[in-house]
Structure 1
């Protein structure tokens, strides 16, 4: 019996990787080819990164599709040792997979997720549900709760939203996001963009940018037109980056938070 079999909670390796076993059935595909089919996946968090990855026992991976990497990267992943290129139907995907040096994770292989890094496997499933961007963190909650708070939003002194019908989205590790009815937002002051992002907890977001001359970031405003069922309450509502606008809730102006989104939103 291995350490992974007996683990009861998260553990940390000497190189700083945090890991814990998962009981979810996970599959990863490239096109129509199933590369991973695992009932014993392990969630792994790299130091300084807020989201986990999966690693899989080698026997639950199509190892016959892996080739020693021709040009392995340096420092791409904490504790990585051997990188592999993935070859499927004549297509070679460089550095799509890797192993770990720590004994705790010996015999396990991790893969890049195409929708997160632009390379690797492009379809992932937990049980029968497709998941996107990265695995969902079992220690993270995302709750969308209707409220009657009075929320006002300003961009460079201009009031762009005013409502008493927000939906507050509470997501572990992030500031509260205020999702507002479209009729309570001056959407005429914004221009839709082609920018799209994906979230494993909420779905795919569409964006708008400020039309004025203020020094504010692009893609300041977003909406989930077809959110995942867990956050269905935000469907079609609009939210702003707290990091780059002034939000007043029940008469109290909120401080602008500093998050990993701050760099892209300021």
Structure 2
């Protein structure tokens, strides 16, 4: 009886998920593309092969060939940049913190370039979990809060939803968490 109730509950959960996904169809990746639905959960950390750059108020505040990217199911990649490749005179600690079950406690960063300011637009893990130790002190930035973010020569677009920090390029296909209808994912 308990097993039957449990199976019934699982089937109802699967049905609700199918209803949420209605209208949101997985996009098949083309040549040279990745589907965010093939990314793992828990997320995976890997070095980024391409150059990563960020511009804010017409100033390049970050430029690196040594970024890491974090790949998680349903999310476009999040890029973490080593502090030595960030113009830290423009990036300052911001109050507050949050906790990620995979990476640990995050600290926030604000950007101020020649009088243009954006608060809590970056985050880092000073003491990440063992699996994400290479990210220590690297900073990720919200693409939508910057003037431009580039992976290689391609200008990235922000992940929808004003909460998540992924960068969308032509190399990744969705649908992406944060789009309308994805709240329950």
Paired position in structure 2 for 1:93: none
Q: What corresponds to 1:249 in structure 2? A: 151
User: What's the CA shift string for 1:159-182, capped at 9, x where partnerless?
Assistant: 100000111111222221111111
- Alpha carbons of 1:209 and 1:12: their partners in 2 closer, same or farther (altered >3 Å)? same
1:211 alignment partner, SS class? strand
Relative to structure 1, is the Cα distance of residues 206 and 6 closer, same or farther in structure 2, using a 3 angstrom cutoff? closer
1:147 Cα shift?
2.6
- In structure 1, stretches of 5+ residues that fail to align are 19-46, 48-138
Matches within 5 A, 1:94-105: none
Q: How does 1:12-27 map to 2 (within 5 A)?
A: 12=12, 16=16
Separation of aligned partners in 2, 1:250 and 1:256: 16
* 8 Å contact from structure 2 (residues 111, 117) kept in 1: no
Higher Cα Rg: structure 1 or 2?
1
Aligned to 2:77: 176
Cα gap change, 1:140/1:4 in structure 2, threshold over 3 Å: closer, same or farther? farther
**TM-superposed deviation, 1:205:** 0.7
Task: Classify 1:201/1:9 alpha carbon distance in 2 versus 1 (closer, same or farther; 3 Å).
Answer: farther
Determine the structure 2 residue equivalent to 1:2: 2
Q: Take 1:253 and 1:205, find their aligned partners in 2: how far apart are those partners?
A: 26
Indicate whether 1:157 and 2:58 are aligned. Answer: yes
Residues 1:226 and 2:127 are matched in the alignment: yes
The higher-RCO structure (CA 8 Å, 6+ apart) is 2
Distance in 2 separating the partners of 1:199 and 1:147: 21
Query: Which string of whole-angstrom CA distances, capped at 9 and with x for unpartnered residues, describes residues 55-99 of structure 1?
Result: xxxxxxxxxxxxxxxxxxxxxxxxxxxxxxxxxxxxxxxxxxxxx
Aligned ranges for residues 5-154 of structure 1 at < 5 Å?
A: 7=7, 10-12=10-12, 16=16, 140-154=41-55
More helix by share: 2
The offset of 1:192, in angstroms, is 1.1
After TM superposition, the score normalised by the length of structure 2 is: 0.66
Unaligned runs of 5+ in 2: 21-39, 165-185
Question: Once superposed, what is the RMSD of the aligned Cα atoms?
Answer: 3.0
**Secondary structure at the counterpart of residue 259 of structure 1:** coil
Distance 1:8 1:229 in 2: 38
